[in-house]
A = this chain, B = another copy of it.
Amino acid sequence: MKVALFGAGRIGKVHAASIGADPRSQLVAVADVVPEAAESLAKAHGIAAMAPAEIFADASIDAVLIASSTNTHADLIEQGVAANKAIFCEKPIDLSLDRALRVREIAAGSTKPVMLGFNRRFDPNFAGIKMAFDAGEIGKGEMLAVTSYDPAPPPVAYVKVSGGLYRDMMIHDFDMCAFLFGMPESVMAHGSCLVDPAIGAAGDVDTAVVVLIYADGRLATIRNSRRAAFGYDQRVELLGSEGMLEARNEIENTVVKSTAAGVSSAKPMFFFLERYMRAYQIEWAAFVDAVTGGKPVPATVEDGVNALALAEAANRSLKEGRPVAVAEVMAGG
């Protein structure tokens, strides 16, 4: 399976490595708006930098991996569908729910797999929760709690184009809730600026609690902070009628030091590239399985639209100080 990569940045490099590590896939081309970046990555892999149009026109290329900036995702998916390529696209589809809904329609017409890069679904810890839960090991689901803190806030310049915390950061957690509990009925969002006043000045929040209310009474809580001094905190906790499942942090090492001052141990793995390295590899294997083995796509455009709808509802809830029904934002209200 021959693959072209859009985007030669940090996450593009991670995906390039995953493509190379899976014996069933082969990286054959890379494109980037910065020609030097494309050239550099292409050279490292002994392949060619190509223009997007060339890639789509090349019939020998089976799949495209879209890891370029968010504002290019929707267009590239549409072009990929038109060119009959299998598509793997980083989240989100777009910052606009309307735009994402149009992409969903177009992707629905594709005969090839179109997959969204919700990498956390493939983390062995969260996947382990999903498996145990679906197997009924803790009975019926009742409450879900997702904790997701970044080690440090991004630059304000990034925040300004990010679409805001709910669409940029919590989008992963919305997807995690949808992954485990499905889609809620309504969303209640709270948010503050406690970490960096510049983020507040840019109109965004850096500290947030969102509650998802399900039609059958289940409740999910998401907590986000742009800064945890101890590093990248990524946990999930699920209470069911017959027990609880937790996915705790992975830590840097297992050394424990006991002295008169107390007992100390390592911090969580820093940062998403370290923590989710295994997830990126498993995720890519799942895409290859879908393309070459006809297996179902484990994270669809529909999933991307759903996560975006929850972010949109959260934004509206925060602004208006009331619970917002998902149907309301899906209807384009």
Contacts and interface: CB of A to CB of B under 8 A. Distances in A.
Interface residues of A, number: 67
Contact of A255 (B139, B230, B245, B321): B245
B225 A257 contact: no
A134 to B, nearest CB: 13
A274 B264 CA distance: 22
Total copies of this chain within the assembly: 4
B125 A253 contact: yes
B264 A254 contact: no
A258 B267 contact: yes
A129 interface: yes
Interface string A231-268: 00100000111111111111111111111111111110
A225 B129 CA distance: 20
A242 B229 CA distance: 5
Nearest to A219: B209
A207 B163 CA distance: 33
B248 A225 contact: no
B247 A254 contact: yes
A250 B244 contact: no
Given A245-B256, A248-B254, 8 more contacts: A132-B257, A139-B229, A192-B219, A208-B219, A209-B211, A230-B244, A262-B265, A264-B265
